[in-house]
Chain A
Amino acid sequence: AQSVTQPDIHITVSEGASLELRCNYSYGATPYLFWYVQSPGQGLQLLLKYFSGDTLVQGIKGFEAEFKRSQSSFNLRKPSVHWSDAAEYFCAVEGSSASKIIFGSGTRLSIRP
């Protein structure tokens, strides 16, 4: 069965520091991969997505993610975080076109001034 693991429940980084949020997935083939961000009480905003091709994907707000097939990982990175990046981040997979999206349990990001 498909699954997504986000091993870090809560991460705190200083403003201006770099960030990496981890995501591992379990699926027989290469799924479609996504990162979403959710501010408290708000909806889901798509940061970036990977379908095929270049394994380094650029997204909005200066985020990027790298797909590593050998590690079944899709880690999210940002070189310098801003206080406004404090939110919950969800990694997600979709096994095939039009199928359900499976979300990880999320990583809450706090920013230290």
Chain B
Amino acid sequence: EPEVTQTPSHQVTQMGQEVILRCVPISNHLYFYWYRQILGQKVEFLVSFYNNEISEKSEIFDDQFSVERPDGSNFTLKIRSTKLEDSAMYFCASFRGQGIANEQFFGPGTRLTVL
């Protein structure tokens, strides 16, 4: 069964460093998403991406964040200058975009630790 994959599973970085989190969505999916979950809290929407552009973003997704689909398979989230409060689990999701049964498929997550 096709699945969303994410790398790395755990990333440790120093405050102020740039990080790139990588996701490989399901191959025939058209919509892509990033969510994050701070430890012990709920999952929060960051950004959605369709047709090579951002379709929606939350207040969390400020100028320090960017997303890119550099090729036909990867979908990346870049944090330009990490802060301590960026420490969280980051989930990628993808959605096929066709049919009435709507379901976003989530990846296993990348745990980001900012020291």
Contacts and interface: CB of A to CB of B under 8 A. Distances in A.
Interface string B34-62: 01000001111100101000011010000
B25 to A, nearest CB: 13
Contacts of A44: 43, 91, 106
Nearest to A94: B102
Interface residues of A, number: 22
Interface in A74-113: 90, 92, 94, 97-106
Q: Is the interface of B mostly helix, strand, loop or mixed?
A: strand
Nearest to A105: B42
Interface of B: 31, 33, 35, 41-45, 48, 50, 55-56, 58, 91, 93, 95, 97, 100-104, 106-109, 111
Given A46-B106, A98-B95, A100-B33, 13 more contacts: A41-B111, A42-B109, A43-B91, A43-B107, A43-B109, A44-B106, A46-B103, A51-B102, A98-B102, A100-B56, A101-B35, A103-B42, A103-B43
